Amino acid sequence: MGKVHLIEHPLIQHKLTIIRDKNTGAKDFRELVEEVSLLMAYEVTRDICLEEVEVETPMCKTKGYTMAGKKVGVIPVLRAGLGMVDGILRLIPTARVGHIGVYRDPASLQPVEYYCKLPDDIKERDLIVVDPMLATGGSAAAAIAFIKERGGTSIKLMCLLAAPEGIAVIEKAHPDVDIFVAAIDEKLDEKGYIVPGLGDAGDRLFGTK
């Protein structure tokens, strides 16, 4: 079973509270989502393998470490996942970015895939699927299934907020996937929105409502 990692660092909790605030405008919302994503990426990448190398300082030669093993891929679930990409790329500029477009049909809440472009070598990469909201879990579960169909094997899911329902869906559908979240909220409402949540992440990022 994949693990659920609740990242409760004070900086993340502080910024998340401003993100939740309905009076926070699109510019601050975007910047804060990027900052929280950067901070979360620090934890998500904690188990990256290192290899020993020699480095020459101005004083002498010494032992150092560089990232080894698999390279990283970041896969935002469109649209709202896009808001999390730049924060991660600031930490791991060499990561490749794939895109998966999934929207929730508003009536059935079922995920519909409308776009997919992934790096050729996803088999060889540690993949971080990003989406701010894990609500029913349908979108993330579908996105991960599409990535597996195309060869992805090492997958983590990183979200700002999750509902318990969404976590249960991912645990059942993808027990190999670790989930990283900044908060686990109380419940979903009758329209599948996370409560207390932050509203519609895509609309708040892109100012579409």
**Residues in contact with ligand PRP by the rule CB under 6 A:** 77, 79-80, 103-104, 109, 111, 131-140, 166, 192, 200-202
**Residue 138 contacts which entry, ligand URA, ligand PRP, none (Cβ below 5-8 A, type-dependent):** ligand PRP
The verdict on 201 binding ligand URA (CB under 6 A) reads yes
Name the residue type at position 165. Answer: E
Least gap, CB of 105 to ligand PRP (angstroms): 8
Least gap, CB of 115 to ligand URA (angstroms): 18
Q: Which is closer to ligand URA, CB of 135 or CB of 144? A: 135
CA nearest to 158, candidates 175, 168, 170: 170
**Alpha carbon of 184 to those of 35, 61, 195: distances in Å?**
19, 47, 10
Category of 35 on φ-ψ map: left (φ > 0), alpha (ψ -120 to 50) or beta: alpha
Stretch 52-91 residues interacting with ligand URA (CB under 6 A)? 80
Query: x/- binding map, residues 117-136, to ligand URA, per CB under 6 A?
Result: ----------------x-x-
Dist CA 63 CA 76 (whole Å)? 36
User: SS3 for 152?
Assistant: coil
Stretch 179-198 residues interacting with ligand URA (CB under 6 A)? 192-194, 197
Residue 203 has a CB neighbour count (10 Å cut-off) of 13
